[in-house]
Amino acid sequence: MISKFISFKNFHNNKASQKTKVNLKNILGKKSEILKSLSNNYKINGNIKKIKKKFKNYKNIRLIGMGGSILGSKAIYSFLKDNIKKNLFFIDNLNSVSSFDQKKKYLNLIISKSGNTLETISNVNVLIKKKDKNIFITEDKKSYLLSLAQILKSEVVHHNNYIGGRYSVLSEVGMLPADLMGLDPKKFRQLNSLIKNRFFFNALLTNVDSITKLYNKKKSNSIILNYDPRLENFLEWYKQLIGESLGKKGKGIQPIISNMPKDNHSVMQLYLDGLKNNFYSFFFLNEKKSHKLKKNYLSKNFNFLKEKTLNHIIKSQKLATEKVFSSKKIPFRSFEILNRDEKTLGELFIFFILETILLGKALNVNPYDQPSVELIKQQTKKILIK
């Protein structure tokens, strides 16, 4: 178990190494804005109560951003959609600009740490109108988007310049959108209580040690077997976190999301009998509400499906896959999520942020920068200027 909300089965039942314990102690002991944002001690920049009150009547909200600026909010909306009464639209790629009803009132939330992100600037240019209401989240320094916000007389919330985009989900970047969705930001920030939870930290430490050992055995592909469609955007957030944080110095872990049980009928044969450079993570949410099969339409050969729900069938397929993996000695870990709320999702965010930072230490790479990505930005600009 990680907590009463998340059941966790690790790769091995090994004890945490002293080195990983020391690394975690050092990380938690440092003054870090990233870690502060995971706890209730973090103070969001800007008057969020005022902003929330000002825009409470807007039912349609468009988030415009790229990568870490938007993936966290997208994960929150997908996972908790049943509890959210507003409609959110995410514009997070070029050519993804949909046709919006011009008669509707939209609140645009534009997010870019630098304020100069090319794709965000392009989408803003195409989408927003003068009559729109806009909120900008960007650093308090000269930039295109900050200048535009001032011209449009828009609300501005300053992005914490010590928190990179992929680590920013529990800062103003993810929590202002969560607040506008009608959720409670305080429920996401669980580090204060998790510090006292030995199950959480034991799971975290042994998990990091297991992944490090697998990596040293040349298993560098992390295949994520996802059994819950509403977790897909959370896993996209995780994919960026692990990929951008660890892919340096010829090292890194390649995250690959596989949607189950659909992929039993496409790539499972490869997973079971193909190359042995993978390790696997199962993600499953035990849904309380699920469609039940109609017994009148079942033949005698399928009587075993009577009274079964879709969730029951999916869980059976997941358990069967785990058993086959065990018999073939394929390394895997398994997360079973027992509740769909802010607290549970907050624990998942914190677990994987700490996991990534610890893996950076184990691989001897800086988990906070992304130097080579800047090369593409520079080359793109040179080509466009020609």
Average pLDDT in the chain: 92
Assess whether 207 and 315 both reside in one domain.
Answer: yes
> What average pLDDT score do residues 142-164 get?
94
- The DSSP output letter for 292 is B
Residue 35 predicted with pLDDT over 70: yes
Contact in structure between 51 and 176 (CB atoms under 8 Å): yes
Assess whether 200 and 100 both reside in one domain.
Answer: no
pLDDT given for residue 98 in this prediction: 66
The token pair that represents 68 in the structure block:
């870490």
Instruction: Tell me if 357 is assigned to some domain.
Output: yes
Cα(373)–Cα(275) distance, rounded to whole angstroms? Answer: 29
- Domain residue limits at 256: 6-28+189-363
Assess whether 333 and 198 both reside in one domain.
Answer: yes
pLDDT given for residue 371 in this prediction: 86
Assess whether 194 and 324 both reside in one domain.
Answer: yes
Instruction: Tell me if 266 is assigned to some domain.
Output: yes
Burial of 115 (0-12, 13-18, 19+ CB in 10 A): buried
Taking phi over 0 as left and psi of -120 to 50 as alpha, with beta for the rest, 153 belongs to left
In total, the chain counts a number of residues equal to 386
Instruction: Tell me if 171 is assigned to some domain.
Output: yes
Could you tell me the pLDDT band of residue 3, with boundaries at 50, 70 and 90?
A: confident
pLDDT tens figures, 334-353: 999 999 999 999 999 999 99
Residue 95 predicted with pLDDT over 80: no
Between residues 104 and 282, which one has the greater pLDDT?
282
pLDDT given for residue 300 in this prediction: 73
Q: Which residue has the tokens 């058993």?
A: 323
> What average pLDDT score do residues 124-139 get?
90
pLDDT given for residue 382 in this prediction: 87
As a whole number of Å, the end-to-end CA separation of the chain is 57
Could you tell me the pLDDT band of residue 188, with boundaries at 50, 70 and 90?
A: very high
In degrees and rounded to multiples of 5, residue 158 shows phi and psi of -80, 125
Longest pairwise C-alpha distance within the chain: 71
Assess whether 200 and 247 both reside in one domain.
Answer: yes
Residue 79 predicted with pLDDT over 80: yes
pTM: 0.94
Instruction: Tell me if 122 is assigned to some domain.
Output: yes
Helices (H), the chain: 18-29, 33-37, 48-54, 71-79, 118-127, 144-151, 172-180, 185-188, 191-194, 198-216, 232-246, 268-273, 310-327, 342-363, 373-385
Instruction: Tell me if 73 is assigned to some domain.
Output: yes
- CATH (domain of 159): 3.40.50.10490
The token pair that represents 6 in the structure block:
């998340």
Assess whether 221 and 314 both reside in one domain.
Answer: yes
Instruction: Tell me if 372 is assigned to some domain.
Output: no
> What average pLDDT score do residues 191-201 get?
91
Residue 99 predicted with pLDDT over 80: no
pLDDT given for residue 373 in this prediction: 84
Assess whether 47 and 78 both reside in one domain.
Answer: yes
Could you tell me the pLDDT band of residue 46, with boundaries at 50, 70 and 90?
A: confident
Assess whether 171 and 67 both reside in one domain.
Answer: yes
Instruction: Tell me if 386 is assigned to some domain.
Output: no
Which range of 48-62, 238-252, 372-386 scores highest in mean pLDDT? It is 238-252
Neighbours of 369 (CB within 10 A): 13
Number of domains in the chain: 2
pLDDT given for residue 381 in this prediction: 85
Taking phi over 0 as left and psi of -120 to 50 as alpha, with beta for the rest, 182 belongs to left
pLDDT given for residue 92 in this prediction: 94
Instruction: Tell me if 243 is assigned to some domain.
Output: yes
pLDDT tens figures, 211-265: 999 999 999 999 999 999 999 999 999 999 999 999 999 999 999 999 999 999 9
Between residues 5 and 265, which one has the greater pLDDT?
265
pLDDT given for residue 308 in this prediction: 83
